[in-house]
Amino acid sequence: MEKDVVGEKKTEEKGKKHPLRKIWDIVLTIFSIIVILFVLAFVQVFQEAQPKKKEVKPSVQIEALQKKVDTLYQEKNRERKDVQNLYSEIRKVEDEILKTAKANDEKALLKTEIVSLKQDLLMLESDLSYPAEEKPKTSKKEKK
If one counts the domains in the chain, the total is 2
Q: Which residues fall within 8 angstroms of residue 56, CB to CB, at 6 or more apart?
A: none
Residues 82 and 121 in one domain: yes
Residues 70 and 123 in one domain: yes
Arithmetic mean of pLDDT over the chain: 74
Q: Where does the chain have alpha helices with state H?
A: 2-15, 19-49, 58-74, 80-100, 104-129, 140-143
Residues 23 and 84 in one domain: no
pTM greater than 0.95: no
Residues 66 and 126 in one domain: yes
Residues 81 and 112 in one domain: yes
Domain containing residue 28: 2-49
Residues 36 and 83 in one domain: no
DSSP annotation of 130: S
For residue 133, what pLDDT is reported? 45
